[in-house]
Amino acid sequence: MLQQGMVQLQEASKAVLDSAKERYGQYFRTVPVTKRTQFTLYTPAAEGEFGAPLWKSICSFPLQSKVKAHQKRIDGLASRLIPASLPLLDDSAITFEFRVISSNAFNAFCIPGGKVIVYSRVFEVVKDDDELAFVLAHEMSHTIARHWGEGVTREQFRKQGLEIPQSLANWASREGVWNAVISTNILRKLDQGSLVVMTLPHSRDMEAEADKIAVTLMLQAGFRPEAAVGLWQRLADSKGSADSRFSQWIQGFLSHHPSEVSRGESLKQYIDAVRAESKAKP
């Protein structure tokens, strides 16, 4: 009975999605590689316009001499990754550019529109060009998958969903049903709850999706994607082995990113499957 109900629910959900696609098709697209159906209100051009001022501001500062060698290394890897990305891009307006910034933090991120920032600390952690290529490919994959526009769209719907309880809480305060402090606490809990339920899991899914697309980019560009598994394992080890598996799960559940351990394990399984599928083809 339960199984039948789940099947009916899936069929109903598919019918709703198909109807929405028919009416609002311009807002739906299929993510390359993973083939996931995505809903976003933002075009690649709109994403680029949003990111342009920040990129212009970053590039207004001259490249520091101590990172010039790092920049040259990245430009070399990018010359292989960018051509590999072209078949996956659905808009010719997207152009990838890269910039190294001096920082002690291990981080890299992608500004909307394909502009990738890499902190100099990354070069002290990666062991070889394959690991560095994964860092670049992962950030490029966020642009390929149009994650920024999708994330902002979801956040807008989340905020709009909170407007009704906010109106009710304000009414209750005015009418003396409860005081303003209670209203504030209720709205804070609703905001936090919707963040944990709606935003954080989706953010983790996007990170995992970017990892998968990065594997495709690396393979097409002639890099070894298995290097990413070793990178995540070392990052997990650097945080100490004292954390239990349950503790790692909790940290991952309350984070925008999956834990390093789970990312390494998931990537290994995915790469193994991709390799096996490739060997099976005639």
Whether residue 68 lies inside any domain: the answer is yes
Q: What pLDDT digit, counting tens, does each position of 141-167 carry?
A: 999 999 998 888 887 776 665 556 566
Whether residue 94 lies inside any domain: the answer is yes
Whether residue 10 lies inside any domain: the answer is no
Whether residue 104 lies inside any domain: the answer is yes
Q: What pLDDT digit, counting tens, does each position of 64-95 carry?
A: 999 999 999 999 999 999 999 999 998 777 89
pLDDT for the residue 117: 95
CATH number of the domain enclosing 91: 3.30.2010
**φ, ψ for residue 182, nearest 5 deg:** -65, -45
The boundaries of the domain holding residue 111 are: 44-144
Across 30-44, 143-157, 234-248, least confident range = 234-248
Q: 3-state SS of the chain: helix, strand, coil percent to 5?
A: 70, 5, 25
Distances (CA, A) of 2 to 5, 7, 11, 20: 5, 9, 14, 27
One-letter amino acid at 229 equals: V
Whether residue 121 lies inside any domain: the answer is yes
pTM confidence score: 0.76
Q: What pLDDT digit, counting tens, does each position of 203-237 carry?
A: 788 889 999 999 999 999 999 999 999 998 888 77
Query: Cα separation of 67 and 63, whole Å?
Result: 7
Whether residue 221 lies inside any domain: the answer is no
Number of domains in the chain: 1
Whether residue 133 lies inside any domain: the answer is yes
pLDDT-based confidence at residue 242 (cuts at 50, 70, 90): very low
Whether residue 7 lies inside any domain: the answer is no
